[in-house]
A and B are shown apart, each in its own frame.
Chain A
């Protein structure tokens, strides 16, 4: 049955929806209404969407703001909407000619996507932030994450590393989980989305809603504890419109730590190996040759170039006769700052909604994409480490296989330029629905959503004999066939009705979902020649296949009641029950309830009209969410293969490798959110303030257990964790003149987390690195106390075998020796606060916008400062520093020796930063010009990303993960672009 559904029924349903969308129903035409749409300043507003309530008729206003539309009678109501303005409902009242004056919207008006439906912002009780496409466009972004960056408080989007394909992660309101995932659930057009977000064209996105508190996320129950990001793609509206948007520009590196050059390296090596004497003896022949010839290889420099990126989008959209359509195609082409680092993406999107009649609508939102990640970028870690006194090229200009003939371990860091690597993913992500209104009860409707996500990835890599890898193995090939097949079916019953001043919105859900990842991997080596690259496993001396299989399922029921009385008193009740295949047989299901209330004080009669404080809403929510985010099959005790040989043949072997946890269950987060939305001075200043406190219990953890078990970790549910925080969001219309305007959007967020309990008592788990009363991630190690100086009484100290110039350690317990009892908490891995500020200046048709981003109060280990990175005998390069000597009695940098820090005491640095994340200058051609060009609107802009960073961090980038401090550098992007609508 299931196979039948997944293989045939869902695709068939998708096709049926598409087919039905194309069938054209007709509406009766009785009167034609003519009108004009204008702004508060009576300027014409072109491009506004005009429709007639209760019909499917739709049009858009032209360049003069004028429109005409057919209405069933002269008593119908027009609905006029335009991004950034409050949607106007205009009863015709017998007229067939109208002027519609649009009012600029504040955050609290307009619709908000809240999951399984939309709500008016002023009626929302939970903590939900929305970002519309106009805040995201023109930023030179390549992905949704980049577009979302800096726009929502409490949502930290971290650039963990460099590269053509952005390496970013999203975290909402701090870390809720010890070892389970902390990534939010991503929902695209109603369907949960797994895998790379970078495969979505960010230019197709209409709006993004971020659900932050328990009430808002409770509808996603088990998936919601890390927050939910709802991505809604564009819909067509108005007259047919053809649009092009595109940009092109370049990528440059921002910062690379200063490495030693050849001469400095030689001196360093001589100092370390030979104590600064007989320097020629310390060097191998190749090193000496290069040093004497004054040659130095800048490996990092050789691996970099100026990259470029360009994106082109074509769209055709509109609505006619009840069909709304948006067809978009895009091309993204990025070449990163590392040579051979490429990311190409082609997408085609078809979003079509059709009303068969007033009671039956259906639609599809479908993206097909082709993503090409082919080509292995130059390995920057290798380039960072490579000896500068070795040779990148042979005399004939080809790359050397091993640049250092006396030390053959080292491959040429540029060898990836010679590797054949193809890596493509073809993917269809489609979300489809049919909705019909019940014939027997007004306000009752039923909706069937069906989502399919099919991705096929193919990766082939071949290292020929011109690379060290291929030389050592006589050719090395690896191929992968990866498929993802996810499906979602949702049955939604909705009852939405107004009784007098009461409004009831009841939603019921029954859904099920399957996620299936299947991968076939094959590595092979030892080939007769390099001609057939990775198509010759049949000729290999050694072939090793392996497989990845991960299948999981989720069954859910949910009910939600939204009730409001007179838009003054608001109530939301939600409960969701989820079953997940990855949990123990008796613990598959969990129930997650929540309640939220809201009070629009400014809608009360007692609230003074026309006061300077024009809007105030108070919100409170309390509820539970789950986290299931552990891989499947963790309840089983598994074995891994570990084979031997018998008579020269493989003798299969298996050894216990994981412990099963048959009772594994949901991790549950209970949270309280208090919030206020406000508007002052007729919404010149508006914003929201939220405080929250959450506790997560039964944490899904991978805890460290005693190695005496023969296995060192186990998945388990333990303990309790607390998160508390505050978020403030402000929007200010500082100047609002006819020619000049200035707005400021500012947000700031702070979060504190600590472990409350672990195993039922107050015992910390040093082995796992978890300490009661401390944040989840701590650095627990010896504390740096400076450098031992000549004349210090070392012999009688806690480090009697230290030398002057060695790292001094704090003897925490004063017992006269340094042992693990002297470890303590170091640094601060979580920021005190994060903040973002966007200022937008408008002068006539020019607009200038800039985003500053700051993270403050982070202190962590800078791994580039390690003393033994160069390895014994100095075989690798490291950053340039001035070391301790008797004449240079530094108290921060030890002497140049691999014995100066025997206990590897970490070197901490402040990783706080302020960054000018992006700046955009744009110009909208005036109507007089666009008319002459025959376009509806035309905008040109220039934009830059990562333009300036202020930090004390001396590594690659304060935001990068430790592993990427030696990776591809962060890139500065400068682009120019154009948006045009015909």
Chain B
């Protein structure tokens, strides 16, 4: 009995020990990490497809320019065009008081500034990563394929430094892929001239290797690089080179101004100038011969993006008695941005670009529920823009971004394609270069191409001045161009805001022509003091 128990005990002990130790086999690989759902740089950038995926993200990031910084609020173009001669803050929220009030509101702790900064460097790091990893000799691709990838990546890098230098002046020049092993705490700001030198190299490379026409609509072509080279050379005060680059676009034969009605809605009342802003007419394959670079959108599609241009630029007309949201009024806006009275009044009466098809200046009563006394449905309500003030629901607005989803007429987002760079602007860069090169007759002829198309009167060479070109840019590119950049580039921001923006004229100071470096950038630079821009 005792013997049996002892044996059982030994056997039990042995068995249990064996099970316990056997389970130790389970520890094989237990401490190794192989996440099945995670993409890392080492396994993405190993083929042409992987690099294309990296580039697609850069396109998606660039497209964000017309989306909100926080959801569908605070459109990212704010720093690029508000508080200028042709745009003021109509319904300022939070930090947006800066565009009318400057002063205390323009300070280094504005989150929006930091978010813009971070967005740009995020793209730069993505581009640097592609540039760096394209050197990997194990990748199976042709030189042409590799160079086209590099051309797109380097274009986007230059595009980001363009934003950064116009907004902040000297900024850190980061050309390396960031890695956890080499975190820097002592960034220094590179002079603008150095940054532009790099932009020039990147854009020249892009010009060389980008295709004449993109294989897929929405991708970059040679002309985009040339367009930005022209602008860069103007900024670098090298107008001869600028003229050469601009002409490469205008004389390529690939691009033509829209001069006739076309496409969807061509049989509706309207003007040729506005046809290229209609959904279905925007890109080259839809008939827009003027489009150089188009942001592509697609509703209900992963990667389809969204824009809030209409939400930002169209006013709160539905707060007027007797008027409610309607697709024919563009949909629902929240009027964050208003066009200055000067910009509204900048057109000759016959100029299509200032016509009722381009700028909404009246509404027809369409809401029986709360009609004002003595008014009937269909009566006209003319807007009054003689005096700009904040929170005015009856303010004229551009019709370039009118768009509604028929299933959601009051929706916030929009999903139609949008031209981001178009030939008209290249002409205006060309005219500026020609003027600077003393070719006033050529400059006038270039400008008249746009004026003829719009039905405005032609100008004579002696009318060509920097001021006139800046006015013409506002007439042609209202709400499209990064207006602040143009004014910073031509050193006219302060003067023109004081002259044409009644809300900001008294508050803007010389320091406001360059934004304060975000405090988080200075705070994180614990290894070396990063200088703030003067006056902050």
Chain A contacts to B: CB under 8 angstroms: 1-2, 5-6, 9, 13, 273, 284-285, 357, 359-360, 406, 408-409, 434, 436-439, 446, 448, 471-474, 489, 491, 510, 512, 514, 525-526, 541-542, 544, 547-549, 551, 553-555, 579-582, 588, 632-633, 635-639, 641-656, 659-662, 704-712, 714, 716, 759, 763-768, 799, 801-802, 818-820, 868, 871-873, 898-899, 902-903
Contact = CB atoms under 8 A, between A and B. Distances in A.
Contacts of A819: 107-108, 536
B302 A655 contact: no
B129 interface: yes
**Those 5 A-B pairs whose CB atoms lie nearest each other, nearest first:** A710-B125, A643-B303, A653-B56, A767-B524, A653-B57
B189 to A, nearest CB: 10
A712 B13 CA distance: 56
A562 B55 CA distance: 63
Contact of A643 (B60, B93, B94, B187): B60
A625 B520 CA distance: 34
A710 B121 contact: yes
A542 B301 CA distance: 6
A523 to B, nearest CB: 11
Contacts of A13: 19
Contacts of A471: 408
Contacts of B304: 645, 650
B126 A491 contact: no
Contact of A660 (B6, B10, B179, B521): B179
Contacts of A544: 302
A820 B57 contact: no
Nearest to B370: A285
Interface string B15-44: 011011101111111111101111111101
Nearest to B217: A647
A554 B319 CA distance: 62
Given A436-B13, A653-B56, A872 B91 contact: yes
Contacts of B92: 872
A707 B303 contact: no
Contact of A709 (B33, B35, B52, B178): B178
B60 A642 contact: yes
A632 to B, nearest CB: 6
A659 B35 CA distance: 16
A650 B21 contact: no
Contact of A902 (B27, B104, B391, B526): B104
B461 interface: no
Contacts of B123: 710
B524 A446 contact: no
A716 B325 CA distance: 52
B8 to A, nearest CB: 8
Interface in B486-521: 507, 518-521
27 contacts: A2-B26, A2-B29, A5-B23, A357-B5, A436-B16, A491-B21, A541-B300, A638-B39, A645-B297, A652-B56, A659-B178, A704-B523, A706-B525, A708-B121, A708-B521, A710-B123, A710-B124, A710-B178, A712-B118, A714-B183, A716-B180, A765-B526, A767-B524, A801-B104, A820-B107, A820-B522, A898-B97
B296 interface: yes
Contact of B179 (A633, A650, A659, A871): A659
A436 B35 contact: no
B16 A434 contact: yes
A636 B216 contact: no
B256 to A, nearest CB: 24
Contact of B17 (A1, A446, A710): A446
Contacts of A818: 104
Contacts of A636: 33, 35, 38, 40
Nearest to B91: A872
A285 B35 CA distance: 56
Greatest chain B CB density within 10 A among A360, A654, A706 is at A706
B38 A644 contact: no
B59 interface: yes
B59 A653 contact: yes
B185 A706 contact: yes
A819 B103 CA distance: 12
A180 B108 CA distance: 30
Given A710-B174, A801-B101, A801-B507, 7 more contacts: A5-B23, A525-B300, A639-B44, A650-B303, A654-B39, A659-B180, A709-B183
Nearest to B39: A639
A649 B104 contact: no
B109 interface: yes
A448 B20 CA distance: 7
Interface of B: 5-6, 9-10, 12-13, 16-17, 19-21, 23-33, 35-42, 44, 52-61, 63, 91-94, 96-97, 101, 103-105, 107-109, 114, 117-118, 121-126, 128-129, 172, 174, 177-181, 183-185, 187, 216-219, 296-298, 300-305, 318-319, 321, 325, 332, 369-370, 391, 407-408, 410-412, 507, 518-526, 536
Contacts of B118: 707, 710, 712
Contacts of B518: 707
Contact of A801 (B103, B172, B298): B103
B30 A514 contact: yes
A333 B174 CA distance: 58
A695 to B, nearest CB: 22
B271 to A, nearest CB: 29
B104 A799 contact: yes
Greatest chain A CB density within 10 A among B122, B319, B407 is at B122
B515 to A, nearest CB: 14
B138 to A, nearest CB: 18
A502 to B, nearest CB: 26
B94 A707 contact: no
B174 A709 contact: yes
Given A512-B26, A639-B41, A643-B302, A903 B180 contact: no
B35 A5 contact: no
B51 to A, nearest CB: 10
Contacts of A554: 30
A706 B521 contact: yes
Contacts of B27: 2, 512, 553, 555
B391 A873 contact: yes
Contacts of A549: 35-38
Given A801-B103, A902-B97, A705 B31 contact: no
Contact of A899 (B28, B97, B183, B536): B97
Contacts of B180: 637, 659-662, 714, 716
A514 to B, nearest CB: 6
B407 A474 contact: yes
Contact of B93 (A580, A641, A872): A872
A826 B10 CA distance: 68
A708 B126 contact: no
Contacts of B20: 446, 448, 489, 491, 510
Contacts of A714: 180, 183
A560 to B, nearest CB: 18
Contacts of B60: 642-644, 653
Given A6-B26, A653-B57, A710 B35 contact: no
Given A406-B318, A706-B184, A820-B108, A635 B33 contact: yes
B303 A820 contact: no
Contact of B122 (A474, A711, A765): A711
A709 B181 CA distance: 12
Contacts of B13: 436, 438-439, 446
B524 A707 contact: yes
A1 B31 contact: no
Contacts of B16: 434, 436, 446, 448
Nearest to A661: B180
Contact of B125 (A409, A709, A902): A709
A861 to B, nearest CB: 16
B113 to A, nearest CB: 11
A5 B184 contact: no
Nearest to A782: B109
Nearest to B410: A408
